[in-house]
Structure 1
Amino acid sequence: MGEERLSILVVEDDEVDQKAFIRHVKSENLPYDYDIAGSLAEGRTLLKKKRYDLVISDYFLGDGTGFDLIAELEDTPLIFATGTGDEEIAVKAMKSGAYDYLIKDPESCYLKVLPVTVEMALQNKRRERQILMLSQAMQSVKESVCVTDTEGHITFVNEAFTGTFGYLRGEVLGKELHALFKGRAHRAFMEVLSGSSGTESWQGELESRRKNGETFPISLSISRVKDEAGRTVGYAVIIRDITELKRYEEQIQYMAYHDQLTDLPNRRFFFARLGEILGSRRQDPEPAALLFLDLDQFKEINDTMGHDIGDYLLRAVARRLAQSVRGDDFVSRMGGDEFTFILRGIRSKEEAGLVAKRILACFDDPFTVEGGTFRVSGSLGVSFYPLDGRDAITLVKKADAAMYQAKAAGGNAVFFCEDL
């Protein structure tokens, strides 16, 4: 079965950038079927005629901006392309609904990360759809329903209520409902009951407890019940046990920030963690080293032995990499056979060199995968914060450049960007 092809719309009014995209797709033999729109209007026309897997749009367009497309894309993920110096626009785009962004440079080097950026955007979209499906599924779960009198004494509960809380119906009828709640839930119910909140209803996610004392998360909705004359005659309470939903949310949160193949932190997690360090407002920022690793010999193994063997090998490599660094070091997979490391507190080239040697030493022994024995090594590039840069893009670019020097020198080596 051939590689799945993607249908991509590129909205770009600069002919140079259009040609650079086309040239890169052809030279790298990327599995993209693409249309090029030279304006916002042309992009809109194409979107009405055809469904795309992904849209890549420049921010500045002659007849508008890329932001004008976001509301029209519905279920199609968008990647923004902005020029160097427009990082704030890229961040704004992400907050507005874009799935990722590319920072364009005069040499079009940004296109090197295009396949990874496209794949990550599509993965994030798939996960978003999973979240939506889970949300819709949870809406169909039978909820606990309870009715109280004006003083908060329970007058009715359904079977779901007794199942959720573990009480028999006779054990709760006539009891005060607020006794089942803790903290904010208790206060919220009492405020609605007394009228001090000034509202007719209240809803939120809170903590409750079962008959056995176990606490659990609930979605709680409290509403006044009025008669025809508008007088309060009681309260309707709808309670949903959201324990499973919280578990799903935790799982989906984990999926969003971890690589599905290796279970290492992914590219998004890497930039988030790096952002924590770079966002420090300290006058004397904590130093750190950024290491960029590319595997040697992996492409040949992957091409000759097949992607299944390649995937098994990447998992084995990831396990060794995670074990090769210090406990508080951060290891992530950027995509393909590229990995990154964030070493906090590293103050010298010598310290970083010791960790780098341990990383490369993990390749000394061959890997046994599916009955075969394979040898791979790694090329490492290193940049330092704040010495070599104070923003993520600069630090990554410099470490990446140093890594290519290590690879050019024969691989299985460490190069520091200051040596370039």
Structure 2
Amino acid sequence: MYWGDLDVPRGVLDMESVESFMCDFFTRQEVYRIFFKESLVGAVFCSPRGLVLDANTSICGMLGHFRHAVVGRPIGDFLQKGSRRHVIGPLRRLMGGKTRNERVDCRLVKACGSPMEARVFISKVEDRDGMIRGYLLQVIDITDSKERERAIKAMALKDPLTDLPNRAACFEEIELAIMESSAEDKGFALIFIDLDGFKEINDGLGHLMGDETLKEVAKRLKRCVRSSDLVSRIGGDEFVMIIKGLSCEESAFSVVAKVASQFDRPVEVKGMSIPIGASLGVAIFPRDGRDSITLMQRADEAMYLHKASKA
């Protein structure tokens, strides 16, 4: 049925009559059932104080609850603890009259306790006098798309050869380490590692053997650190390690010595014994710099000094 097919006398209705007609039309039980109860989108109607007054079948299915377990409870009961702060801002804007609709991505908690990534559209419901009578929340489950998004991001931050974090991930981790160390009043070490004679391996034995050598070096470096530290390949034959939570600078150099010892023995690749060396440079936060660029430059400079000393 088209809007023009509605049986409304033309030219005889003033605006008040139109309002009355439309209110009567849209509050019919059948229309309510179709647009709320049977919507494929999860829908919740809350009181101005956030108490759930009604919930449709879709949202109950998403959360794994029966309707009677949802209605009558504060909407905050279904929000993961860390997500509650994301909802407060939009609600304040709605209550303050700054907006009529808000969108927020947050995590809801299912009946089984597992989280659900959700995109929630919040609309305020007002009466004719402009008083807020409640909020309509429309919920879409975006868990799958969020997981794909995280997977794509992980791929973008990973070196495909060694499976180590790449250059972009390394700089992200340095920034994070700076914030954490500043808050905890501790230091961290940045160790720059450049392989010696790697070009000769590539040129003399082929890139396949070079790749296998890089993979073995990556494994050895990972064995030198804790799970809270980072080993990354930032390009070619260059690696960077981030050693966190240093109470004193001496503890950083014990790690450096352990890393250096990994190059005392050759790499075994496809039955061949390949000698491999490395030049190392260290920068300490905050002594050698307070930003990622400066720290990387200092570690790089120290590495070249080490390499030059062996020439």
Q: TM over 0.5: same fold?
A: yes
Matches within 5 A, 1:195-234: 198=97, 200-212=100-112, 214-223=114-123
**Cα distance in 1 between the residues matched to 2:298 and 2:131:** 71
1:147 touches 1:234 (CA, 8 Å); kept in 2? no
1:181 touches 1:208 (CA, 8 Å); kept in 2? no
Does 2:210 match 1:310? yes
Aligned amino acid, residue 264 of structure 1: L
Distance 1:406 1:163, change over 3 A: same
Provide the secondary structure at the position in 2 that maps to 1:182. helix
TM-score normalized with structure 2 length: 0.60
Does 2:249 match 1:347? yes
Larger Rg over CA atoms: 2
Matches within 5 A, 1:1-20: none
Provide the secondary structure at the position in 2 that maps to 1:320. helix
Does 2:142 match 1:242? yes
Q: CA deviation at 1:295?
A: 0.7
- Map of 1:378 onto structure 2: 278
Q: CA deviation at 1:337?
A: 0.6
1:148 touches 1:177 (CA, 8 Å); kept in 2? no
**Cα distance in 2 between the residues matched to 1:382 and 1:149:** 57
- Map of 2:77 onto structure 1: 182
**Cα distance in 2 between the residues matched to 1:315 and 1:209:** 41
Matches within 5 A, 1:7-46: none
**Cα distance in 2 between the residues matched to 1:329 and 1:209:** 31
- Map of 2:8 onto structure 1: none
- Map of 1:164 onto structure 2: 62
Write out per-residue CA displacement over residues 382-411 of structure 1, whole angstroms, 9 at most, x where no aligned residue. 344555555544443343233234334447
Unpaired runs of at least 5, structure 1:
1-141, 412-420
Matches within 5 A, 1:15-414: 144-146=41-43, 153-154=53-54, 157=57, 161=59, 163-166=61-64, 172=67, 176=71, 182=77, 198=97, 200-212=100-112, 214-223=114-123, 237-275=137-175, 286-325=186-225, 329-343=229-243, 344-348=246-250, 352-389=252-289, 391-410=291-310
Matched residue pairs, number? 258
Q: CA deviation at 1:217?
A: 3.0
Distance 1:318 1:280, change over 3 A: closer
What RMSD over aligned residues (CA atoms) do the two structures have, in Å? 4.7
Instruction: Compare relative contact order (CA 8 Å, sep 6+) and give the higher one, 1 or 2.
Output: 2
Write out per-residue CA displacement over residues 349-371 of structure 1, whole angstroms, 9 at most, x where no aligned residue. xx554432311211233333345
Distance 1:364 1:213, change over 3 A: closer
Distance 1:371 1:275, change over 3 A: same
**Cα distance in 2 between the residues matched to 1:274 and 1:226:** 49
More displaced stretch, 390-399 vs 297-306: 390-399
Aligned amino acid, residue 172 of structure 1: R
Distance 1:219 1:281, change over 3 A: closer
Q: CA deviation at 1:317?
A: 0.8
Distance 1:377 1:144, change over 3 A: same
Distance 1:173 1:379, change over 3 A: closer
Q: CA deviation at 1:240?
A: 1.2
